[in-house]
Structure formats: C-alpha cells, structure tokens
Structure 1
Amino acid sequence: MRASVEKMYENSSNELDPAPPIVLFYLMGIWAMITGITGFLANVIAIFLFVTTKKLRTPFNFILMNLSVTELIISCTGNSLLAINSFNRQWMFSSQMCQANAFGMTYLGKYHDNIKDWVHRDQDRQFPLSTNFSSLVTLIFIWLYTLSCAVPPIFGWGQFSQNTLKVSCGVKWAQADQNPVEHISFVAYIYMLGFVIPVIIIFTSYLKIIRTVNMNKHGKEFTETII
C-alpha cells in the first residue's frame, strides 16, 4: 500500500508540463491567506456568540454552528497548506500528508455542502428542525453520508493525489494508471452521491413547495368565492 502511494505521489510530479506562470501561484497563495484569515475570524466570532448567547442555541442554529466549525477547520488547515505550497510552487509535505489532506478536504468540503443544502431545505420547511434530537439525527446522517463519499480511496477504490498545479491534493479524476472499470465505477459512485441524489432531493423539495403554494392559492380563491 505504501509503495503504491509513493509511486502515485512521484508520478504526479510529472503531470504538469509546461509549468504555469509564477504569478498564478502567488495569486493563489494570497487568495488562500485572505480567505483563510477572513473565514477564521468570522467563524470564531459566530461560534463565540453561539456559545455565550443562550437565545441563539436553537436546534436550527446548532446546524449552523456545525457549518461554522467546518469552515473554521478548512480555514485553519486547507487554506494554510494551500498558501504555503502556493508560495513555494510545489507540494512541500510528504505523500502521507497529501493523502490525509485530500481525505480531510474532500470530507469537510462535501460535509460543508451537505449542511448548506439541508439548511436551505429547513428554511423551506420541508425538513424542519424543531428539537435538539432532530438536529443530532440530521447531523449523524450527514456525517455518515459524507463519509461514504470520502472514504473509498482509503480502501483502494479510487485514488487521492496531487491536483493539477501540485499545490494541493484531492480525488484523482483522470484515469492514468488506474483500472478503467474501477475508475469509471468510482467516478459514477461519487457523481451519484455528490450530485444526482442531492439534485433529486432538491428538485422534489421544490416541487412540494410549488404544490403547497398552489393548494393554498386555490383554497384562498375557493374561500373568497363562497364568501
């Protein structure tokens, strides 16, 4: 396992040719620093207010706090690594660190997106969160669902590797040296869990909203006709 990871890590260093302009790396580093510092400060303030203000500790805000904690971790780890590597114009850490970073950013990124999707559904009253227990169950479901998207490469289904500019790591989308069937099945799996299923849920939710609005409209018109 370690030998294959090292081989993947070494091969990735030859994937980009010719090299991109140096200014691009510095722009990425500056962007990573600015967004990282901004995200850190904003989410620290949000978490502090949630912890110290009793009125804010509602089931819905509990979900939002998980969103803030996720963004805080990404700001401290993902943005920091991206800034360091961008200014050095290469991945500065070990292959094991690349694997850990890829898994962490894949998991946290997808977890962040899933929470935002659920927040929108709650605001539309399709999946209202009225108790701490319902919020906890929701978070456990999101944790497990997100884990199912991020964990396959750890067990050999799909791969984590350096991305195109070699300053960050993530899921390896290009087939390269991977088994074609394994690669296609992995991409299809991620596509289904990361895109198709969320889109179906969102589409269904908004259909229910439209149906509810139409029912209320027709009911109001019927009542006015009787009166």
Structure 2
Amino acid sequence: MTVPNISHSCSGVNSVWCSNSSNQRHGQEQNLSPTGHLITAICLGIIGTLGFLNNLLVLILFCRNKVLRSPINLLLMNISVSDMMVCIMGTPFSFAASTQGRWLIGPGGCIWYGFINTLFGTVSLISLAVLSYERYCTMMGTTEADATNYRKIWMGIILSWMYSLFWTLPPLFGWSSYGPEGPGTTCSINWHSRDANNISYIICLFIFCLVIPFFIIVYSYGKLLCAIKQVSTFLNILLM
C-alpha cells in the first residue's frame, strides 16, 4: 500500500504520522490487498449511508411529532446526533481512503478524523450510560416521574459532551496523540507508542470512557431486571 509522502519535518503534530508511516514501510503494519480495501470501502459505504439515513429519519420524526418530544427522548436524540455526525464528518474520509488504499487528506486531516470519531463515539457511550442511570432512578424512585422535567435531561446531555471533550482533547495538547492506524486508511488514538505518556492516556481513556460507563449501564439495567423479576414473582404468588 502506498503511504502518504510527507515532505515537511517530522516534528510536532506530524511526528506520530511519520512514525506510523515509517512502521508501515518497514512492514510493522499489516497492509490490505486491493480486494481488501475494496471490501472495506463497500462496508464503510453501506454503514455510512444506512447510519446517516436511519439517524436522519429518527431526528425528522422527533421534530415533526410533538408526542415524541419527551425528556427521555432527548437523550436518544443526542445519541442519534452524535452517530449521524460520525457518518457525515468521519466515514466519508475513511471510505475515500479505502477506495484509494491510502490516507488522502494529510496529517492534519488524520488528526481531525481521529479526534471527531473518538469524541462522537464517546458521547454516544456516555449518553447510553446517562440514559440507563436515568431509567434506573425513575423506575426505582419513590416519586412519580415528571415527564415535563427537561432540566435534568439537558444537564445529562451537556455532561455527556463536556465529559467527552475532557477526555478527547488531551491528545491535541500533547497527552498522547492522534495518528494513522491499521492499514493506514483510518486514524485514531496512537495505539502504537509504548512510552509512559501514551500508555497513561490509553489506560485513563479505557477506565473513564469505557469501563465506568459500561459498569453504570450493567448496574442500572441489572437492578431494573432484578426489580422486575421480584415484581413478577410477587404477582405470581398473588394469582396462585
């Protein structure tokens, strides 16, 4: 696979790009065959198109039907927006790169791609955690749910974006970095470097943006399932 020709100095934001490009030239990255790139491009095209259309449909239905404009659905809209942004601002670049077998928009575009995909992906995951916790609090609470309380939901949406920005901005300022990955047609966090700076960021990202949200989701829905099971058992006893 052809790697981008970097004519300027391999310093600053370009150091990761040059390092990964050098790794590819020395066979440290597994290159895809032309057929592999074609299959990848087709899959990305299908995923990007369906993802965009499905999320756009959800947003249109939400805007056109007042009955759907509930606080809890705002969280679902937040997830749809972040997913659609990936389809608009990320997938087209990796699709184009896969059709040509190489990254096409240079180091700056690679950093941009890595940042926005990490940001929007984190927003979706954090929003799912917020959604599960909100359902847990509503179902397990002793008071009746207020279907008109938008304040709490908007706080959850703002939290999901601020929290995601907090963990995806550091690579732009020197704590780890964004660069090419895999066969060189996508970009993400620099998973290749083994220095303490990079490893510490990856560990923190893994804990705070994957493990903790996943634990919240499992805990919240696990508690709800246990509560539903207890109610079902109680009703069965009453009906016997």
Q: Is the 8 A contact 2:132 2:216 kept in 1?
A: no
Asked if 1:73 corresponds to 2:85, the answer is: yes
Matched ranges for 1:74-89 at <5 A: 74-89=86-101
2:210 pairs, out of 192, 195, 200, with: 195
Identity of aligned residues (%): 23
Residue in 2 that maps onto 1:173: 191
Residue in 2 that maps onto 1:28: 40
Asked if 1:101 corresponds to 2:116, the answer is: no
In the superposition, the TM-score normalised over structure 2's length comes to 0.80
Matched ranges for 1:1-227 at <5 A: 3-16=11-24, 17=27, 19-122=31-134, 125-128=135-138, 130=147, 131-175=149-193, 180-206=195-221, 208-209=223-224, 212-213=227-228, 216=231
Taking a change above 3 Å as real, the CA distance of residues 127 and 151 of structure 1, as seen in their structure-2 partners, is farther
Task: Tell me the amino acid that sits aligned with residue 200 of structure 1.
Answer: F
Q: Is the 8 A contact 1:160 1:170 kept in 2?
A: yes
Q: Unaligned 5+ residue runs, structure 2? A: 1-9, 139-145
Q: What is the Cα deviation at residue 210 of structure 1?
A: 5.4
Secondary structure (helix, strand or coil) at the match of 1:126 reads helix
Q: Is the 8 A contact 2:55 2:84 kept in 1?
A: yes
Task: Tell me the amino acid that sits aligned with residue 148 of structure 1.
Answer: F
Cα offsets for 1:142-190 (capped at 9, x unmatched) = 11221122111011111110011111111011225xxx22222112211
The whole-number CA distance in structure 2 between the counterparts of 1:60 and 1:73 is 21
Secondary structure (helix, strand or coil) at the match of 1:20 reads coil
Task: Tell me the amino acid that sits aligned with residue 196 of structure 1.
Answer: V
Task: Tell me the amino acid that sits aligned with residue 78 of structure 2.
Answer: N
Q: Displaced runs of 4+ in structure 1, greater than 4 A?
A: 213-225
Q: Unaligned 5+ residue runs, structure 1? A: none
Taking a change above 3 Å as real, the CA distance of residues 63 and 84 of structure 1, as seen in their structure-2 partners, is same
Residue in 1 that maps onto 2:5: none
Secondary structure (helix, strand or coil) at the match of 2:179 reads strand
Q: What is the Cα deviation at residue 196 of structure 1?
A: 2.3
Q: What is the Cα deviation at residue 58 of structure 1?
A: 0.9
Secondary structure (helix, strand or coil) at the match of 1:169 reads strand
Taking a change above 3 Å as real, the CA distance of residues 102 and 121 of structure 1, as seen in their structure-2 partners, is same
The whole-number CA distance in structure 1 between the counterparts of 2:52 and 2:233 is 48
Task: Tell me the amino acid that sits aligned with residue 6 of structure 1.
Answer: N
RMSD of Structure 2 on Structure 1 (CA): 2.5
Q: What is the Cα deviation at residue 223 of structure 1?
A: 7.5
Cα offsets for 1:12-70 (capped at 9, x unmatched) = 22323263211111111111111111112222222111111111111111111122211
In the superposition, the TM-score normalised over structure 1's length comes to 0.85
Taking a change above 3 Å as real, the CA distance of residues 182 and 35 of structure 1, as seen in their structure-2 partners, is same
* Aligned pairs, number: 219
Taking a change above 3 Å as real, the CA distance of residues 39 and 8 of structure 1, as seen in their structure-2 partners, is same
